[in-house]
Amino acid sequence: MNTTHITNEDILKMESHARAAFMNSLSGFKSASLIGSIDRAGNTNLAIFSSVIHIGSNPALIGFINRPDSTSRHTLENILDTNCYTINHINEAIYMKAHQTSARYPKEVSEFDATDLTVEFGSRISAPYVKESNIKYGLELAEKLELKINGTMLIIGRVVEVFMPEYCLMPLGGIDVEKAETITISGLDSYHKTSLLSRLTYAKQDTLPEKFI
């Protein structure tokens, strides 16, 4: 195996699209989500994000990175307008439609209509869910942090409700996201399905982990 050594100077010299592709791949596999939002006039919006991340369990917090200058700016505007949003897992059946939400539609066009995904409402917030998504959850805006180093925003929400197939809830509290056909993203354009290697027991100093599935 030939190993390549790429320095910071090499990265800075890359053409800008190549650099974005490179850096977006470097962190490894990413979550694949559609964020649904709505403004006070009732206009819905849907946008794909690969930056959704676990922040904490108690309180129940999930975050995502929002770039103000990107096609996801309508998402942030709506969240600031109505204080809520939904996160919907992308599965194999809808990933091409999900990808299409990243096109630059004008504000008055709902990506639900443009991509033929179906609006569904929950009981606790006004933001729209994606009917075709198997695991989805609603959030209230909890904290908005500007990352001064590059002007992006970390948006943190408090989970208010979760919808998921009953058969995905595992005995010890985990969710079997693979059984829900949730997929994963690498880079800017690659979609992958997964296959379980194993689940491992809690790591302790004096023993090695064991596979319990």
Report if residue 13 touches a copy of itself, rule: CB under 8 A: no
Secondary structure (3-state) at 90? coil
69 belongs to the binding site for a copy of itself (CB under 8 A)? no
Q: Does 127 help bind a copy of itself (rule: CB under 8 A)?
A: no
Distances in Å between the Cα of 181 and the Cα atoms of 19, 31, 49, 196 are: 31, 13, 17, 12
Q: Which is nearer to a copy of itself, 38 or 156 (CB)?
A: 156
Contact flags string 43-62 toward a copy of itself, x per CB under 8 A? -------xxxxxxxxxxxxx
Using the rule CB under 8 A, which residue among 46, 94, 135, 155 binds a copy of itself?
135
21 interacts with a copy of itself by CB under 8 A: yes
Structure tokens at 22: 């490179």
Distances from the Cα of 59 to the Cα of 36, 56, 83, angstroms: 22, 6, 17
- Establish if 193 lies at the interface with a copy of itself (CB under 8 A): yes
Q: Does 93 bind a copy of itself (CB under 8 A)?
A: no
HSE-CB at 55 with a 13 A cutoff on CA atoms is 18
- Amino acid in the structure at residue 152: T
Select the span of 35-43, 72-80, 120-128 touching a copy of itself (CB under 8 A). Answer: 120-128
Q: Do strands 119-121 and 128-130 pair parallel, antiparallel, or not at all (unpaired)?
A: antiparallel
